[in-house]
Amino acid sequence: MESMQFFGAARLVIVAGKGGVGKTTVTAVIAHAAAAEGLRVLAVDLEGKPVLRDLLDGDEAQQIRQHPIEVITITAPEALADYLDGHGLKRVSKRLASSGIIDVVATAAPGIDDIVVLGKLKQLERNEADYDLVVVDGPAAGHAVTFLLAARGLMNTVRSGPIRTQAQDVLDMFADPQRCQVVLVGLAEATPINELVETAYAVEEQVGVQLGPLIINGVDPGPTVDENAAVGNESLAAAAAFRNHRIAAQHAQLDRLSSELALDRIVLPQLPVAGITRDDLDVLASALLSQIAEVAG
Amino acid sequence: MTALDQLIRDTQIIISCGSGGVGKTTTAAAIALHAASSGRQVVVVTIDPARRLADALGLDGGLSNEPTEVTIDPPPLGAGRLSAMMLDPTKTFDDLVSQYAASPERAERILANPFYRNIAGALLGTQEYIAAEKLYQLHLDPRFDLVVVDTPPTRNALDFLDAPATLTRFINHRLFRLMMLPARGGLKVLNIAAQPVLRTIGKVVGGDVLADAIAFFQAFEGMEHGFRDRADAVSDLLHASVTSYVLVASPRRDTVVEAQYFADRLAESKIDVAALVVNRLQPRFGTIPTEQALATADSLQISNPQLAAQWQNLGELSQLADAEEAVIAPLVAAAGPGIVHRVPLLRDDVHTIGGLREIATHLFDGPPQE
């Protein structure tokens, strides 16, 4: 029930965060956890990279799921071509694409590539017949806020026409917390936390979209190690001191985050692996689900 | 002597590249600091530094287009000097326009055009192109003999190399050539807008945007040669032998894949990776194998739980180090072990000159030498 409050909160969840914080992992974990709760989940990749599909499309996991997770890729050029097709420009869209003019259109009105992608996401969000939850591995690096701001930007530059209508529809979706939320991902380190706080303010104030709980990735689950137990073994002592220092530093950053941002927070444990694989999703999804229960309770 | 030791003696440009979050900026700053300490006149160009690193480099003033000298202690050897700058892409682009415009009035018209403001901020690859352009300017600047540049965090790490070509393609595009037709005789803006292809675009983006675009290209007319020649020169410099590429990765499966992809693309452009830096590796404590540490932990579980926890911890850290080593192995093999530099995960985030020096101890053999 509690988890349904989280997953049912918004039909479209856009996962955003700076490069290297584990955005794709978190997208996969949310999709996996929601599917485990019996939801019909669509996971969307915006970069045309195989990572998200690799994490979610394992045959065994898909067979166990009540509703297999659908994974799709939406890229700007395809979305733009689709958009033109859908707006009575089918005949020209092919010619536009082959002559490279699509790139030029995207340049003429920056954000147009983002808006057609957002428009697609809006369509998927509206598709209640097929999906309960659409979770999007958002754009990388510093691009997240720009991506989300595309709709507002175009409302200012494009004063008429279908793109303006599209931008308006996207803004309407952003304004409704039951339709769309943004989940920000960060790490428990000084710089990523600073960036997380900045992004959170930018998203709320400039984009006007509801923020879901923050997800902090790769947090050492502890506990701290007793440094005094091994007398005379330097390796053990150094390893314990190193681990304890990292744990304390992470806690200090999490405390700072709490004091700077009044948002619910979910931490995902660091696993002793060099990059998450689909075998790790279960453990991360249960961490997510158990904390959702706490947050909701 | 590490590959980077060799590099800071021989090369004139070092480009730090890799995917987001792997420590490109920190690596660039650490290399620049060490090179300056060793007697070179270095400027480091950063794109989007973390605030505290920016502060440490004296960049607390924010974006600037002029390098600021960084006070370093102990002072550099010989004539060594370190300057840093945070790239202001918009300002750099504006300067280029002013430089190539036929007259100040023409420059003014371009700079005030809404379409230009969009291009300067958002044209695909603009930021990358501007970073390359700045690199070119600094390379010619007699105050510096080594330029270290951090590449922008992009969706695609290759944009940097392709940026000059992207700009040239953009300028050469027949659509723009059409828009650049001089507005002579009766051929007014509106007539150009009536061309079928432009009419189609106008339908999609709206007439105002199109009118701005046409006005921009008409003001731009005549400048495209200057821009194109410049883009060619920048591209040549990116491929020149004085330019060296340092590939930065972290020991995570996805960033290793990206690094490998980037290395392949550099190879296609006939560019060698001069050095590979793997950041944030889990340090090892002692030489006890993982299995042995974990087995010892198990055996002590009941008799001495505190000690067991310590062995367990040693085992877990060592397990992580093993996993990381396995993940980076193909990258290390492909790069050639001789150019690999391993930087351990430090106890604290790096955001001081002292922290950069600590990183440098893992990149270079011994203290700075002239």
pLDDT digits (tens, 9 = 90+) for A97-122: 555 666 666 666 667 778 889 999 99
Q: Which of A47-61, A134-148, B152-166, B304-318 has the highest mean pLDDT?
A: B304-318
Distances (CA, A) of A294 to A1, A116, A117, A166, A255: 12, 37, 34, 38, 18
Considering only CB atoms, A19 lies closest to which of B19, B123, B213, namely B19
Are A71 and A53 spatial neighbours (Cβ–Cβ below 8 Å)?
Answer: yes
pLDDT at B330 over 50: yes
**DSSP reduced 3-state for B328:** helix
**Mean pLDDT (whole number) for B285-292:** 95
Q: For the ranges A3-7, A188-192, B58-62, which has the lowest average pLDDT?
A: A3-7
Given a contact cutoff of 8 angstroms between Cβ atoms, the answer to whether B295 and A249 are in contact is no
With bands split at pLDDT 50, 70 and 90, how would you rate the model's confidence at B82? Answer: very high
> Residue B42 in 3-state DSSP?
strand
Q: What is the separation, in whole angstroms, between the first and last Cα of chain A?
A: 10
Question: Does residue B68 surpass a pLDDT of 80?
Answer: yes
CB atoms within 10 A of CB B220: 24
Return the pLDDT at A244.
94
**Per-residue model confidence (pLDDT) at position B268:** 86
For position A94, what pLDDT does the model report? 65
Q: How far apart are CA B278 and CA B345, in angstroms?
A: 10
- Exposed, middle or buried by CB within 10 Å (0-12, 13-18, 19+), for B209? buried
User: Inter-chain contact A107–B123, Cβ cutoff 8 Å?
Assistant: yes
Query: Given this model, what pLDDT does residue A109 score?
Result: 65
User: Which residue in A107, A239, A273 is closest to B317 by CB distance?
Assistant: A239
Q: Quick one: tokens of A196?
A: 């997380």
Chain B residues whose CB is inside 8 A of the A108 CB are 115, 118, 201, 205, 209-210, 213
How high does pLDDT run on average in chain A?
A: 85
Distance between CA B52 and CA B331 in Å, rounded?
31
Is the per-residue pLDDT at A2 higher than 60?
no
Structural tokens at position B238: 């990116």
| Cα end-to-end span (Å), chain B | 13
More confident residue, A229 or B6: B6
Confidence of residue A183 (pLDDT cuts 50, 70, 90): very high
Average pLDDT of span B318-346: 93
Query: What is the structure's pLDDT at B185?
Result: 44
Q: Which residue does chain A place closest to B258, by CA atoms?
A: A49
CA pair distance B231, B171, nearest whole angstrom: 11
Contact A108 B254 (CB under 8 A): no
Q: pLDDT for B186-220, tens place per residue?
A: 445 445 556 676 777 677 666 777 777 777 777 77
Which pLDDT value is given to residue B186? Answer: 44
Residues B43 and A26: their CA atoms lie apart, in Å, by 38
CA distance A105 to chain B (A): 7
Higher pLDDT, B8 or A94: B8
Does the CA dihedral A153-A139-B162-B145 come out positive or negative? positive
pLDDT at B39 over 80: yes
Query: CA A135, CA A10: separation in Å to the nearest integer?
Result: 10
List the one residue out of A45, A256, A227, A96 whose CA is nearest residue B254: A45
CB contacts < 8 A (A, B): 190
Longest dimension (CA), chain A: 79
The residue of B177, B179, B282, B313 whose CB has the most chain A CBs within 10 angstroms, and thus the best one to mutate to test that interface, is B313
Provide the mean pLDDT of chain B: 83
pLDDT > 70 fraction of chain B, expressed in percent and rounded: 81
Residue A1: the pLDDT is 39
Q: What is the mean pLDDT of residues A234-257?
A: 93
Cα distance between residue B334 and residue B264, in whole Å: 10
Single-letter amino acid, residue B72: I
Map chain A to HEC letters: CHHHHHHCCCCEEEEECCCCCCHHHHHHHHHHHHHHCCCCEEEEECCCCCHHHHHHCCHHHHHHCCCCCEEEECCHHHHHHHHHHHHHHHHHHHHHHHCCHHHHHHHHCCCHHHHHHHHHHHHHHHCCCCCCEEEEECCCCCHHHHHHHHHHHHHHHCCCCHHHHHHHHHHHHHHCCCCEEEEEEEECCHHHHHHHHHHHHHHHHHHCCEECCEEEEEECCCCCCCCCCCCCCHHHHHHHHHHHHHHHHHHHHHHHHHHHCCCCEEEEECCCCCCCCHHHHHHHHHHHHHHHHHHHC
Query: Which tens digit of pLDDT belongs to each residue from A45-68?
Result: 998 888 899 999 887 888 888 899
Identify the pLDDT of residue B123.
54
Is residue B181's pLDDT more than 60? no
Residues 6+ apart with CB under 8 A from A191: B50, B51, B52, B53, B349, B351
pLDDT winner (highest mean) among A57-71, B2-16, B95-109: B2-16
* Mean pLDDT, residues A34-47 taken together: 93
How far is the C-alpha of B282 from the C-alpha of A273, rounded, in Å? 11
Range in A75-89, A181-195, B275-289 with the lowest mean pLDDT:
A75-89
Q: How many angstroms away from the CA of B79 is the closest CA of chain A?
A: 33
**pLDDT at residue number A17:** 87
- Parallel/antiparallel/unpaired status of strands B68-69 and B81-86: antiparallel
Q: Do A107 and B288 touch (CB under 8 A)?
A: no
CA-CA distance, A237 to B229, in Å (whole number)? 61
Q: What is the distance between the alpha carbons of residues B97 and B103, in angstroms, rounded to a whole number?
A: 10
Which string of b and e fits B346-364 if b means at least 16 CB within 10 Å? eeebbbebebbbbbbebbb
Q: How many residues does chain A have?
A: 297
CA A199, CA A292: separation in Å to the nearest integer?
23
Distance of alpha carbon B261 from alpha carbon B267, whole angstroms: 10
Pair A214, A258: CB distance under 8 Å: no
Higher pLDDT, A60 or A71: A71
Confidence tier at B49 by pLDDT (50, 70, 90) = low
Contact A108 B213 (CB under 8 A): yes
Q: Predicted confidence band at B177 (pLDDT cuts at 50, 70, 90)?
A: low
Here the tokens at position A100 are 């490279």
pLDDT value for A3: 56
Full-model pTM: 0.87
Contacts of A18 (CB under 8 A, 6+ apart): A140, A141, A142, A144, A186, A192, A195, A199, B20, B21, B153
Q: A269, A248, A268, A266: which is closest to A258 by C-alpha?
A: A266
Of B162-176, B182-196, B250-264, the one with minimum mean pLDDT is B182-196
Determine the average pLDDT of the residues in A236-241. Answer: 92
